[in-house]
Chain A
């Protein structure tokens, strides 16, 4: 099985563009979806699914597979696009996104979508679930890793900090958190809604090894993901500085694009930018 491994920067950048285009396609077809948040984490998801993670579309439930939890479930457009392009389900399924009885809803359903580890959507749930998966790996003597992608606003939730304590207490160096730090909540800049500063120090104080990266620089993302765990016996948090709406200039860094659908004109421009 195994990851694709060493696919190279150009390949991965092309793949993430493809994923962005697919996200836009799905949103335009359905006139619904959290597009800007998906564009924010598209590069990270590409790196995980096409380079880093030990996964096999032909055997999605392999017991040694690496686990990926999209804790910020509303970013699922990027996950759907990556999973299908990685071969977990046919790309025709994109057409059914949020349509009646589709497996692809506005938040990912782990019982229905091949490759989705577990259902998410309610913020603050993914990291605790990841703690269980990571502890299970240790108990079962398996080498898989558990990757949890979090939104930055999501860490407002108290349950995240319960899990942060547990990861440190149990010395879980097999869990890797990634914060998609685009600095925007649904209501505005995170600094105005509810500050999470000092972000690095908070995680360090909870006993995590922290690394800060450019979440749109493929070299940066891949090298960070391949370096973890940063310290033995410690969980790792990767703080990925990102841009909400990345790749579509009219959307970039604008909080009100959280779940807004582009007009036909804006979409036309966006496809050009993502070509």
Chain B
């Protein structure tokens, strides 16, 4: 009994292993399924056309091989002499047309959806050049280059090759989940082609022209692709890496990028190096206050009841400076008082805090310097 159950278990294990290996076999030999709705539908289309080809192939090659075996001279010494049949010709012209129509319908509907580039939530301008990609987030006004990071030593076989050999970059394109992301592609020099197999997006980047494509991504992850159009010497060394993040994480990432850009700009550096007077900061602060703060706190600083506290004579603008700076920069959790640090520059923050501490009868005489803000970030 024991040996039998062992045998059964071995059989089951073998069957499991066999099915598993056929599964991996199938995956390795198949078009990638990808992670978008469109990539999956394209895979379905691939399977459909492959199945049609296999069935037609079995019929045609089957007839051929049968004939090769059965109608060889040793078995079939006297050839028949038929050589024409209009009916047969009509049949094997019409039947393929019907099969083709059956393939064209799903191909057409899928294509119409793929080519519907309307209503994007987010637009990325992808500019190719020999041999790197530049990604510009049009809405957020940030952009950066993406270069391959695989070391030359690995390419020249001096070091063992890494897991993502040739498919790794310094700055991946970061995208959010659940948004319709539109890709605009263009080039600065020759024609390239931006391709991420898992998104089923392959779009040529042509100098002087802009092409478009889109993707909607359901799940976070890292996705890798390559330039698909011969673009010169280092065509093989132009990988595409896309990092998909959850929406909230993506928003934070955008803020971080914008801030990093802000902090590194020449204006920001000049602002930090200068010592500002109250007369210089007050008008700037008033402007910032009217734009960003007055909707809640009112232009006269009187606030709106307990929800939006009064600033004129208020506790915070007349209290310790550090507390005030902290509140403006980082906001107050659970309220509509946002974190302003990612949205305003050092100069703007310094000016608006200075303004709040010295307007509407507040008279702390505190002058907040941009470099103080920078240090607090």
- Are chains A and B native binding partners rather than an unrelated pairing? no
A: residues with CB less than 8 A from B are none
